[in-house]
């Protein structure tokens, strides 16, 4: 995500920019409201969120917000203030300010407000009958970002080995290219393509996903056990969509095991002849999910994570529904969780006539 930080205090701008970059954001900066408007007008900048101070010489943050709303009704805007002012808050809300930050604030507080602002953007999209567009793209971009973070952190631990560092950089470049491709798709969002369904080898999809998160899994000391019930078993779906579903479930499992002593990710597939479906089981040895939380697990904005967005499992459920599949969850507190996705098979896996 491209974020524009606007403040006349350079030290404040640099501090916020460093924090956002550490969480995977791309950041631009402006020291006046006028400069910010010029950056937003620049098609090359592709600003996707504005974080602005209220008190600035010349045009203040509220005036900047009003100008932004004249041409960008859905651009998320967060306003920073050094004091609480009810009149200011009311005026800002009337101009659809998405969130407030009272100085001083921590990086975690900043991230929470950016997520709240994104949630409001999702609501606007729903009102325009685009319920899946924004959460889908935000969540897809999160996956290669996590891969980049894992590779970068491992590279920093092995600075004395140029060959190893080169391999990590290659993975970072590939993940960055994925994000670039996704951004192009977002720009074409007004005319989205429908999923192209074809027979897809589910084992290859799983291998691609594990490869993307290889460094992240290593960094988090997660062991992986993969059991394929039938090799070359295929489901009817879209490759990129299936990859997104598997990546989200893997990332969800890794995060669930953050505080676990034993971290084991188990991925297993099998074929159910009774309804001609392929079942994909993704299990973790994490903290588990409380029974009373299971019914709300796939609802918008539901999350058990301190700084989670509640998008990952919602996107998974939407994908499963589009594939005419089912998803079930079994969990025990302090033992772990298993997600089972059932997707119609492209053909009977024992049929010798199937194409390879």
Tell which of 93, 127, 161 closes a domain: 127
The pLDDT value given to residue 308: 46
Q: How many distinct structural domains can be found in the chain?
A: 2
Lowest mean pLDDT among 124-128, 152-156, 344-348: 124-128
Same domain as 105, residue 233 = no
253-299 residue pLDDT tens: 998 998 899 999 999 999 988 888 999 999 999 999 988 888 778 77
For tokens 């953007």, name the residue.
121
The pLDDT value given to residue 224: 96
Which CATH number is 259's domain given? 3.30.565.10
Same domain as 332, residue 208 = yes
Q: Is 209 part of any domain?
A: yes
Same domain as 213, residue 103 = no
116-134 residue pLDDT tens: 777 666 655 555 444 444 5
Q: Is 103 part of any domain?
A: yes
Q: Is 159 part of any domain?
A: no
Kind of pairing, strands 26-30 and 2-6? parallel
Q: Is 172 part of any domain?
A: no
Q: Is 132 part of any domain?
A: no
Statement: residue 326 has pLDDT above 90 = yes
**Smallest Cα–Cα separation from 245: which of 172, 337, 340, 176?**
340
Separation of alpha carbons 237 and 152, rounded Å = 33
Same domain as 213, residue 93 = no
Separation of alpha carbons 25 and 13, rounded Å = 14
Check: CB of residue 345 under 8 Å from CB of residue 280: no
Average pLDDT value for residue range 101-115: 83
**pLDDT band per the 50, 70, 90 thresholds, residue 303:** low
Statement: residue 113 has pLDDT above 70 = yes
The pLDDT value given to residue 195: 53
Average pLDDT value for residue range 23-42: 89
């Amino acid at each position: 995500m491209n974020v524009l930080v606007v403040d006349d205090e350079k030290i404040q701008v640099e501090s916020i920019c460093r924090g956002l970059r550490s969480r995977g954001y791309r950041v631009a900066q402006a020291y006046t409201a006028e400069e910010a408007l010029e950056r937003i007008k620049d098609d090359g900048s592709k600003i996707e969120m504005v974080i602005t101070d209220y008190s600035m010489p010349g045009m203040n943050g509220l005036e900047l917000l009003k100008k932004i709303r004249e041409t960008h009704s859905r651009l998320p805007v967060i306003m920073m203030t050094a004091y609480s002012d009810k009149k200011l808050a009311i005026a800002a809300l009337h101009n659809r300010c998405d969130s407030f930050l009272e100085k001083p604030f921590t990086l975690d507080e900043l991230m929470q407000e950016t997520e709240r602002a994104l949630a409001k953007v999702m609501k606007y999209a729903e009102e325009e009958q685009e319920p899946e567009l924004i959460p889908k793209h935000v969540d897809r971009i999160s996956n290669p970002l996590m891969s980049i973070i894992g590779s970068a952190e491992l590279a920093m631990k092995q600075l004395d080995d140029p060959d190893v560092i080169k391999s990590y950089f290659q993975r970072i470049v590939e993940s960055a290219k994925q994000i670039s491709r996704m951004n192009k798709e977002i720009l074409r969002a007004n005319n989205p393509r429908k999923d192209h369904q074809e027979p897809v080898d589910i084992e290859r999809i799983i291998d691609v996903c594990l490869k993307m998160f290889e460094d992240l899994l290593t960094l988090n000391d997660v062991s992986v056990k993969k059991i394929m019930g039938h090799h070359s078993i295929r489901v009817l779906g879209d490759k990129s969509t299936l990859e997104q579903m598997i990546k989200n479930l893997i990332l969800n499992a890794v995060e669930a095991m953050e505080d676990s002593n034993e971290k084991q990710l188990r991925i297993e597939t099998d074929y159910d002849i009774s309804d001609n479906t392929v079942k994909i089981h993704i299990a973790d040895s994490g903290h588990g999910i409380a029974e009373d939380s299971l019914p709300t697990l796939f609802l918008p904005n539901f999350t058990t994570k301190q700084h989670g967005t509640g998008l990952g499992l919602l996107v998974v459920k939407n994908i499963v529904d589009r594939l005419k599949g089912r998803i079930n969850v079994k969990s025990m507190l302090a033992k772990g969780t298993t997600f089972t996705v059932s997707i119609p098979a492209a053909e009977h896996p024992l049929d010798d006539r199937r194409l390879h």
